[in-house]
Amino acid sequence: MIVQRLAVIGLGLIGGSLARALRSAGAVAHISGYDPDPSRRDDAQRLCVIDRVCDTPAAAVRDADLVVLAVPVLHTVEALVDCLPACKLEVVVTDVGSTKSSVLGDVARACGELPPWFVAGHPIAGTEKSGIAHSQADLFRRHRVILTPHEHQDRTALALVTRVWQAAGARVVEMDARRHDAIFAATSHLPHVLAYSFVDMLARLDGSDEIFPNAGGGFRDFSRIASSSPEMWHDIVRANAASVGELLDRQIGELQQIRAMMHEARWDELKALFERARSARERYLAQIE
Cα-based distances in Å from 105 to 111, 120, 178, 240: 10, 11, 11, 12
We find the least distance from the C-beta atom of residue 162 to its own copies, in angstroms, to be 18
Q: Does 248 bind its own copies (CB under 8 A)?
A: yes
Applying the rule CB under 8 A, the residues between 107 and 166 that interact with its own copies are 124-128, 143-144, 146
**Of 255, 199, 256, 267, which is closest to residue 228 (Cα–Cα)?**
199
We find the least distance from the C-beta atom of residue 9 to its own copies, in angstroms, to be 22
We find the least distance from the C-beta atom of residue 230 to its own copies, in angstroms, to be 4
Residues in the chain: 289
| DSSP label at residue 47 | H
Enumerate the H helices of 146-240 as residue ranges.
155-167, 177-184, 190-203, 208-211, 217-222, 230-239
Q: Which stretch binds its own copies (CB under 8 A): 1-9, 29-37, 108-116, 275-283?
A: 275-283
- Residue closer to its own copies (CB basis): 159 or 203: 203
Q: Does 212 bind its own copies (CB under 8 A)?
A: yes
Reduced to 3 states, what is the DSSP secondary structure of residue 172? strand
We find the least distance from the C-beta atom of residue 71 to its own copies, in angstroms, to be 16
Q: Does 260 bind its own copies (CB under 8 A)?
A: no
- Residue closer to its own copies (CB basis): 63 or 269: 269
Q: Does 168 bind its own copies (CB under 8 A)?
A: no
Applying the rule CB under 8 A, the residues between 24 and 63 that interact with its own copies are none
Considering CB under 8 A, how many residues would be counted as binding its own copies?
90
CA distance 225 to 228: 5
Q: Which stretch binds its own copies (CB under 8 A): 37-45, 53-61, 148-156, 240-248?
A: 240-248
Applying the rule CB under 8 A, the residues between 172 and 201 that interact with its own copies are 179, 182-184, 186-188, 190-201
CA distance 229 to 127: 10
Class of residue 229 by CB neighbours under 10 A (exposed 0-12, middle 13-18, buried 19+): middle
CA distance 135 to 13: 5
Task: State how far Cα 148 lies from the chain centre.
Answer: 14
Q: Does 289 bind its own copies (CB under 8 A)?
A: no
We find the least distance from the C-beta atom of residue 287 to its own copies, in angstroms, to be 5
CB-CB contact of 154 with 94 (8 Å): no
CB-CB contact of 229 with 174 (8 Å): no
- Residue closer to its own copies (CB basis): 110 or 270: 270
Q: Does 266 bind its own copies (CB under 8 A)?
A: no
- Residue closer to its own copies (CB basis): 159 or 252: 252
